[in-house]
Amino acid sequence: MTVTSAKSAPALALLAATLLLAAVPAILGGRSVLALPTPVNLGPSPFEPASTGGAATLDRALAKLSTHKRLLVIGAHPDDEDTSLLALVARGMGGEAAYLSLSRGEGGQDLIGPELGVGLGLIRSRELLAARAIDGGRQFFSRAYDFGFTMSLEETLGQWPKEVLVEDTIRVMRRFKPQVVVSIFPGVPVKTHGQHQASGIAAFAAFPLAGDASALPQLRAEGLAPWAPQALFRKTWFDPQATTLKLPLGGIDPWSGKSAFQLAMASRGMHRSQGMGLTQELGAKDSALGWVSGGAGAAAKDLFDGIDTHLRAIARPLADPVLRSRVAAELEAVEGLAVRARATLNPERPEALVPDLVEAVRHLRAAAALLAPAGGRPDQKPVAELIAEKLEVAEIALASAAGVALDATTPREALVAGESFPVAATLWNSGSRTLAAVAVTLAPAPEWHGEPVAGEAKELAQGGLQKWELKAVVPAAAPPTMPYFLRLPLSGGLYDWSAAAAGERGEPFGPPPLIARFNFSLDGVPVTLEREVVHLHRNEVLGEVRRPLRVVPLVEVAVAESVQIWPLSRHEPRGVRVVVTSHAKAALRGRLEVASAPAAGGAAWPAVPPRSFEIPAPDPAADEAEGEQLALPLTLQPPAALAPGRYPLRLAAVLEDGARFDLAVPVIDYAHIHPTPNPRHAAVEVTATDLKLPPLERVGYVRGVSDEVPEFLRQAGVPLELLGPGELAGADLTRYDAIVIGSRAYESEPALARFNHRLLDYVRGGGLMIVQYQQYAFIESGFAPFKLEIARPHDRVTDETAAVTLLDLADPVFSTPNRIAEADWQGWVQERGLYFAHSWDPAYKPLLAMADPGGPQQRGALLAAAYGKGKYVYTGLALFRQLPAGVPGAYRLFANLLALGRK
């Protein structure tokens, strides 16, 4: 990286001195956003307009400097967390709270978009971070990939080995250093979700091992010293008899005017992909816990009973009594200063707190310096890290009180390797004190392997505004920006972290591409503040818009539909839409190549001729983040003798200079979360199967939640039309051979409920209506023609390999036009189905029976009923998962369902 401004020798000397002072905490294991990607949840976000943070930041920082309280909550999924506890500790007590979710929720459904699997996990990871921004907590994860609901602990531990879960849990305990751990679930097998059971077992097993110096030497190699939490509790939501402690949640946060419970409900409302929005009720509430180990025992009256929560307690692990006493004295002084400053905080005169905060920073630096000679020793390293964290808090508070605001932006959003781009770094000294040795350094993420860029150091008088116009360069070898846990393919039910830096493992995401590190001296005390460099632009409607930087491939190659279902009877060629995106500044020429790998039977798809392309230079007025796009229809021609199987095809764009590109990094972008890259390799998998369709002229479809079934039915040759509110309200429904309702469509399409009577009239008159799984509102509103009931919890079969019994072999649903056999139930993904009917009117005929291992037989997966002259079908089979996965049997069964409407 380079800088455009020249510096004089005196300025260089001043900068060197400043950087040396600022380096002290880093040398001592102190803070750096690049080393600790989960910093304290405090101060202005880089995605909000720059500010000092105001009195709210000051008060929260002073609260954190007045106490030493740390809570870790552990659950299995993004919606398991107790946001009330997190808000109570982080917002109400001035402590630090964190949530460890073993998984990212990849196995659920998506209420806000089409993403499932990894994409859904990215959304839910971001939703957890949005929730933590409200309740004040931090967020961590294990390697576990949510493979879907199961009641089996054995199945869960087969996908998530216990030793991996325990290691990842201990990793977070040693990094975050909680005094109190709360497991959402008990530490013994119980009759509940298998992944819930696993999270409780992992939490209970990790608790005594986190402080064991002989346990998990691989974590010591990552720089994580032993840390012993002091108390373990568990939630008693589902076992109220085990409650030993109730914590009141009615205290009002003075800066929001809301109770901890209200903040918790606002936090929970960020889980929008799961439909977790709740009302923020007024009044007294409480959180119930059961004591397990440590602390003040079962008689504890508070979460931290029996635990020293004074700041001096940070020094407790130090083995040397003299050193412990000296460090504790410095910390005790900080606590006294913070308590006094908080008591006198006047939002109109924040600068009055500067002297106390200057002294607090001095004492924290002194405490850190005492550990400098041996800060890496096992007993000293955790202490040094906690002191560095408190120093970060104190410096944020000092800057806020002194009226210092800073920012770092660039007009670029999407960058390519080797590209230079401008960065504007700004520091405003709005207070009355002079700042000395004001400097900025741009620090790249470790994966860039780039050099820092330093701006000229200056003195800044009261009211002064300093701007640095810097030029940074993305190193030629910089990889595309993507979540660290997606750099390698999944390994069974786990993300592969072997390519991730030690400091990334367990974090929600890796560090941002570029950080602006500001250094200055205030009243003789050096201060270091960091701010992520973000893209900034003006929108005429929204005003200021900020987005994260990202490195993109010079050329992206994306396939619209990466799974192609191909009936053996179809011999005509098919076009597949491929989009090539150029992020180059000049025109590009190349060719699109397709490599065919052998299918399981040894045969390969016929060679696909390369397709030449030319992408013009971008329009200067165009959005640079979008790039210049070119759609290339790729023609697939089946072999003369096409055999059933899966035929993988790999695509790559090859430029004139020989450079190859086979990756697209689209961004998942919703208003309530930060944009997140979701990398996808350019590939097509053709699934060839013996699929016959009944004679169909027109099929209507009401799209449901995270529902891509329409696109895949069209691939198979179904003449499908989407039905929206207008069609449901007034179209001639008798035109349709069948009308299919997508999963949970009664929740997502209000017109469906309003005009359900028209659909039933259509069936009564001779139509066919196929309803895929719905939830309780569908049942409670009586939308089906005859009574259906769904149990609570709902009946389901989570084992995708569970044996399936056809209850009436003579029924045409198993023979026309496809003969359904055992092979059609092979290769299913994640589950057989969910929200099965539990009981039903005798008018319905159950067609399938299946069961999870050791579970009861379920007969409500597929029901059909004659209604008037027509046929009504309800199915809980997870077809919304099977069709996008290219499961042949699911297509064959769906075709047979569509045949039930033949007149």
pLDDT given at position 618: 84
The least confident of 93-107, 353-367, 368-382, 505-519 is 368-382
467, 468, 465: which is closest to 429 by C-alpha?
A: 465
> What does the buried/exposed string (b/e) look like for 99-125 if buried means 16 or more CB atoms within 10 Å of the residue's CB?
bbbbbbbbbbbbbbbebbbbbbbbbbb
List the beta strands (DSSP E) in 122-208: 138-141, 180-183
Q: How confident is the model over 724-734, as a mean pLDDT? A: 96
The answer on pLDDT for 347 being more than 60 is yes
pLDDT given at position 903: 52
pLDDT given at position 902: 65
Q: How far apart, in whole angstroms, are the C-alpha atoms of residue 876 and residue 401?
A: 59
236, 129, 229, 102: which is closest to 175 by C-alpha?
A: 229
Confidence of residue 475 (pLDDT cuts 50, 70, 90): very high
The answer on pLDDT for 674 being more than 50 is yes
Q: How confident is the model over 297-317, as a mean pLDDT? A: 95
CB 353 within 8 A of CB 344: yes
Backbone angles phi, psi at 634, to 5 degrees: -100, 125
Q: How confident is the model over 357-368, as a mean pLDDT? A: 97
**Over 864-883, what HEC string results?**
EEEECCEEEEEECECHHHHC
Q: How far apart, in whole angstroms, are the C-alpha atoms of residue 686 and residue 185?
A: 43
Tokens read off for 745? 């469509």
Q: How far apart, in whole angstroms, are the C-alpha atoms of residue 858 and residue 848?
A: 8
The answer on pLDDT for 408 being more than 80 is yes
Could you give the C-alpha distances from 222 to 35, 100, 218, 387, 389, in angstroms and in order? 12, 19, 7, 20, 19
In terms of phi and psi (left: phi > 0; alpha: psi -120 to 50; beta: otherwise), the region of 54 is: left
Q: How far apart, in whole angstroms, are the C-alpha atoms of residue 96 and residue 86?
A: 8
pLDDT given at position 33: 35
Name residue, tokens 């493979």. 147
Task: Specify the amino acid at residue 599.
Answer: A
Query: According to DSSP H, which parts of 700-749 are helical?
Result: 709-715, 725-730, 745-748
pLDDT given at position 360: 98
Q: How far apart, in whole angstroms, are the C-alpha atoms of residue 806 and residue 685?
A: 30
pLDDT given at position 2: 34
Q: How far apart, in whole angstroms, are the C-alpha atoms of residue 52 and residue 403?
A: 6
List pLDDT tens digits, range 15-57: 333 333 333 333 333 343 334 445 677 878 888 998 999 999 9
Structure letter (DSSP) for residue 90: I
684, 573, 555, 682: which is closest to 630 by C-alpha?
A: 555
Could you give the C-alpha distances from 460 to 431, 438, 457, 463, 775, in angstroms and in order? 11, 7, 10, 8, 62
Q: How far apart, in whole angstroms, are the C-alpha atoms of residue 337 and residue 358?
A: 10
Q: How far apart, in whole angstroms, are the C-alpha atoms of residue 568 and residue 603?
A: 15
59, 91, 43: which is closest to 265 by C-alpha?
A: 91
Q: How confident is the model over 597-602, as a mean pLDDT? A: 74
Percent of the chain with pLDDT over 90: 77
CB 634 within 8 A of CB 611: yes
The least confident of 326-335, 421-430, 632-641, 705-714 is 632-641
3-class secondary structure, 777: helix
Q: How far apart, in whole angstroms, are the C-alpha atoms of residue 813 and residue 818?
A: 8
Secondary element (H or E) of residue 440: strand 435-444
457, 428, 384, 423: which is closest to 21 by C-alpha?
A: 457
Count other C-beta atoms under 10 Å from residue 96's C-beta: 27
Task: Specify the amino acid at residue 763.
Answer: V
The sign of the CA dihedral 43, 46, 49, 52 is positive
CB 123 within 8 A of CB 109: no
Q: How far apart, in whole angstroms, are the C-alpha atoms of residue 825 and residue 821?
A: 8
Confidence of residue 252 (pLDDT cuts 50, 70, 90): confident
Q: Which positions ≥6 away from 532 have C-beta within 8 Å?
A: 33, 46, 408, 512, 514, 515, 516, 548
Task: Specify the amino acid at residue 380.
Answer: Q
Structure letter (DSSP) for residue 491: B
List pLDDT tens digits, range 774-825: 999 999 999 999 999 999 999 999 999 999 999 999 999 999 999 999 999 9
The answer on pLDDT for 768 being more than 80 is yes
Query: According to DSSP H, which parts of 813-902 are helical?
Result: 879-882, 888-899
Q: How many CA atoms lie within 13 A of 342 on its CB side?
A: 22
In terms of phi and psi (left: phi > 0; alpha: psi -120 to 50; beta: otherwise), the region of 524 is: left
Confidence of residue 257 (pLDDT cuts 50, 70, 90): confident
β partners of residue 288: 246
How are beta strands 414-415 and 550-551 bridged, if at all? parallel
Q: How far apart, in whole angstroms, are the C-alpha atoms of residue 187 and residue 203?
A: 7
Backbone angles phi, psi at 10, to 5 degrees: -60, -40
β partners of residue 649: 596, 684
Q: How far apart, in whole angstroms, are the C-alpha atoms of residue 355 and residue 363?
A: 13
Could you give the C-alpha distances from 6 to 18, 469, 470, 774, in angstroms and in order? 18, 11, 11, 66
Count other C-beta atoms under 10 Å from residue 209's C-beta: 17
β partners of residue 396: none
The answer on pLDDT for 715 being more than 70 is yes
Length of the chain: 903
Secondary element (H or E) of residue 429: strand 420-429
Confidence of residue 551 (pLDDT cuts 50, 70, 90): very high
More confident residue, 566 or 276: 566
List pLDDT tens digits, range 630-640: 999 889 999 88
Confidence of residue 416 (pLDDT cuts 50, 70, 90): very high
Task: Specify the amino acid at residue 579.
Answer: V
Tokens read off for 688? 């060839």
Task: Specify the amino acid at residue 229.
Answer: P
The answer on pLDDT for 269 being more than 50 is yes
**Mean of the per-residue pLDDT values of the chain:** 91
3-class secondary structure, 721: strand
pLDDT given at position 15: 31
Backbone angles phi, psi at 514, to 5 degrees: -150, 135
Backbone angles phi, psi at 536, to 5 degrees: -130, 130
Task: Specify the amino acid at residue 516.
Answer: A
Q: How confident is the model over 445-449, as a mean pLDDT? A: 87
Q: How far apart, in whole angstroms, are the C-alpha atoms of residue 228 and residue 206?
A: 10
Backbone angles phi, psi at 681, to 5 degrees: -80, 145
The answer on pLDDT for 375 being more than 70 is no
pLDDT given at position 196: 94
The sign of the CA dihedral 865, 866, 872, 878 is positive
Question: What is the DSSP secondary-structure string of 198-252?
Answer: HHHHHHHHHHHHTT-TTS-HHHHHTT-------EEEEE-TT-GGG--EEEE--PE
The answer on pLDDT for 373 being more than 80 is no
User: What pTM was computed for the model?
Assistant: 0.91
CB 824 within 8 A of CB 764: no
Q: Which positions ≥6 away from 261 have C-beta within 8 Å?
A: 84, 87, 249, 250, 280, 281, 285
CB 836 within 8 A of CB 795: yes
Q: How far apart, in whole angstroms, are the C-alpha atoms of residue 198 and residue 188?
A: 9
Tokens read off for 393? 């808090």
Q: How confident is the model over 319-334, as a mean pLDDT? A: 96
Tokens read off for 514? 């570029």
CB 636 within 8 A of CB 564: yes
Query: According to DSSP H, which parts of 731-819 are helical?
Result: 745-748, 750-754, 756-764, 776-780
pLDDT given at position 153: 93
Confidence of residue 376 (pLDDT cuts 50, 70, 90): low
